[in-house]
Structure 1
Amino acid sequence: MNTTVTTTTLKMNGMEYRCRTAGLEQDGELVIFLHGFPESSIIWEETMSKLAALGYRCLAPDQRGYSDGARPDGYENYSLRKLSADVIGFADVMGCSGKFHLVGHDLGAAVGWSVVTLYPQRIQTWTAMSVPHWEAYKWALENDPVQKQKGTYVTKFMEPEVPESLIAANDYAVLRHLWEGFDQETQEDYMRIFSQPEARTAVINWYRGIMQVEEQIPYKDVETPTAFIWGNEDLALARAGVEKSHTYMKGYYDFHELNAGHWLTQFNEPEVSEIILNHIQKFPIEK
């Protein structure tokens, strides 16, 4: 069984997305992986290989703004509704018109919570990493002093042009500090994206679009089988939002608090992959 992760281009809605794939020649269930900021689809390679070895079909896109061919102008094009619709589009392009498994980290998790809300009929299982239920996160950002302190960068990212300059300053010192300890291949893949001025604006537009576009997404209790992985030393996500997130879980729910930081796939991959796999295997898709 071929477990090699390969890179390909998917065309969707007039845009082209750079994607990593594994096991696509198989006939197993589809698993879509969503990266966060400042990352790329490379964070999922080890997990994808493990799932492909068990027959799953895996897709991890460099999402809107991160792919050279999918970088529309204007933060209104990076709203949660648009980013969520992309996820469904990826499944459709893969020939999956029914249910699939979804995994997301960081802002990829923010998108995933929206997908589960807007398209619950399409998601068999949902695994969120780091970012709690989006309503819980927003509540914590407004009400919890610890989360307010951890989230000061979110407000800074609302400003025009300033954050783009900030992350590029001093040879990308801010980003290189965040990526400390990452392997060379990962850092080079990230710099392939963040060294482009138009890419820096596009990825910051995720924050502008997510926080500033009024969409009235009807977030509610989650009945989709959900696993949530959180590191209690996370630099950006505090406990208050995580605990409030639990109150939205009305279906099967599997919470894992790790003695870990934010970069779960980089420094805790074996444990994370095992949690993801176990969760997916508990809920096979009926044919």
Structure 2
Amino acid sequence: MTTTKSLRLGDLEFDYRVCGDKKDELVVFLHGFPETSIMWVELMPEIAALGFYCIAPDMRGYSKNACPKGVSHYTIEKISNDILEIADTLKPGKFHLVGHDWGAAIGWDITYNHPGRILSWTSLSIPHSRAFASALKEDKEQKKMSRYIGFFLLPYIPERFVRRNDFKAFRKLWKRSSPEALENYLTVFRRKPSLTGALNYYRANFRKGRKPIGDVEKPTLFIWGNRDFAIGAFGARKTRDFIKGAYTFLEVDGGHWLVQSNFDEVKAALSKHLSSHREVPKRKGKTYQTPGNL
């Protein structure tokens, strides 16, 4: 069962979901846009059953009491530091990291810049930043797919557009989400500071450009849907060029929202990946499911 808690880091208070035994290895799940940690509630118990302690924070901008005013507060560096501090507070030491969409963009950054903290890394939908940068420069399909980013960089107008007709545009993106998740998303994005905070991820990290990260050496799983409306094949397949450690690329017949549309495939691949890269063997005297039983 997944429960919701909160913790304070300085002036900010983060909400997070947790599932599993704190004595087990930590797995941190990072949500994307426009979602919250509730996107992981069905997957977390499945992973906890394998012998992992799972946490999923509502990141900066999404947690009600963690919405600092101003674009400069939403750089990847600051959000990455939030995640590391949350992990340190809840269970110090190394951890496994899983991210989707913006959570994946942040996860790539953490995995590269803080490799000593990471046991394994899993990205859903989002390629390595250098692969994505190459796609934006060289691939016509990706250029077309990413036009929306320029719109999100504008002040005020994106907020008004998103709120129009009670979030009609976003409701199309949430059509596979549960009623509980839908209500959670509406609650969060109806808060003006949260919607602006979420959009500030784009404004803080695309306006001036950002130096892509280097090669990743940690065990990496990358799952991409070949019908993704936001990420094309060029960047997805080029990611291999920037991984120097163990690497698994799984292409599935799905779109961008892989946890909802390809749950069983994501669960199986993630279960195998995490179980293959434990820091220590499973504790004696405790029985867990194995990936083969899922």
Residue 201 of structure 1: aligned partner: 196
- Asked if 2 retains the 8 angstrom alpha-carbon contact of 1:81 and 1:215, the reply is no
**Displacement after TM superposition at 1:214 (Å):** 5.6
Residue 169 of structure 1: aligned partner: 164
For 1:11, give the aligned amino acid.
Answer: R
Residue 251 of structure 2: aligned partner: 257
1:20 has 2:14 as partner: no
Q: Distance in 2 between matches of 1:80 and 1:143?
A: 24
- Asked if 1 retains the 8 angstrom alpha-carbon contact of 2:120 and 2:218, the reply is yes
Alignment of 1:100-179 (within 5 A): 100-179=95-174
Q: Distance in 1 between matches of 2:223 and 2:97?
A: 14
For 2:224, give the aligned amino acid.
Answer: W
- Asked if 1 retains the 8 angstrom alpha-carbon contact of 2:26 and 2:91, the reply is no
1:183 has 2:178 as partner: yes
Q: Which runs of 4+ in 1 moved over 6 A?
A: none
1:64 has 2:60 as partner: yes
For 1:266, give the aligned amino acid.
Answer: Q
For 1:187, give the aligned amino acid.
Answer: L
Q: Distance in 2 between matches of 1:213 and 1:272?
A: 34
1:91 has 2:87 as partner: yes
Residue 82 of structure 1: aligned partner: 78
- Asked if 1 retains the 8 angstrom alpha-carbon contact of 2:22 and 2:91, the reply is no
- Asked if 2 retains the 8 angstrom alpha-carbon contact of 1:26 and 1:55, the reply is no
- Asked if 1 retains the 8 angstrom alpha-carbon contact of 2:125 and 2:223, the reply is yes
Q: SS state of the match for residue 254, structure 1?
A: strand
- Asked if 1 retains the 8 angstrom alpha-carbon contact of 2:216 and 2:243, the reply is yes
Q: Distance in 1 between matches of 2:247 and 2:10?
A: 34
Return 5+ residue gaps in structure 1 as ranges: none
Q: Distance in 2 between matches of 1:171 and 1:117?
A: 39
Aligned with 1:227 (options 221, 233, 251):
221
Return 5+ residue gaps in structure 2 as ranges: 282-294
1:274 has 2:285 as partner: no
RMSD of the alignment, in Å? 1.4
Q: What TM-score does the superposition give when structure 1 sets the normalisation length?
A: 0.94
Q: SS state of the match for residue 60, structure 1?
A: strand
**Displacement after TM superposition at 1:216 (Å):** 4.2
For 2:225, give the aligned amino acid.
Answer: G
Q: Distance in 1 between matches of 2:91 and 2:179?
A: 34
Q: SS state of the match for residue 247, structure 1?
A: helix
Alignment of 1:29-68 (within 5 A): 29-68=25-64
Q: Distance in 1 between matches of 2:114 and 2:208?
A: 20
Map Cα deviations across residues 105-141 of structure 1 (whole Å, 9 max, x no partner). 0110000000011101100100000000012112212
Map Cα deviations across residues 54-80 of structure 1 (whole Å, 9 max, x no partner). 221110001000000110111111111
Q: SS state of the match for residue 11, structure 1?
A: strand
Map Cα deviations across residues 127-174 of structure 1 (whole Å, 9 max, x no partner). 000000012112212321111111111111111111111111122111
- Asked if 1 retains the 8 angstrom alpha-carbon contact of 2:121 and 2:220, the reply is yes
Q: Distance in 2 between matches of 1:44 and 1:110?
A: 17
**Displacement after TM superposition at 1:228 (Å):** 0.2
**Displacement after TM superposition at 1:90 (Å):** 1.2
Q: SS state of the match for residue 224, structure 2?
A: strand
Q: What TM-score does the superposition give when structure 2 sets the normalisation length?
A: 0.92
Residue 5 of structure 2: aligned partner: 8
Q: Distance in 1 between matches of 2:140 and 2:254?
A: 21
- Asked if 1 retains the 8 angstrom alpha-carbon contact of 2:50 and 2:271, the reply is no
Q: Distance in 1 between matches of 2:46 and 2:218?
A: 24
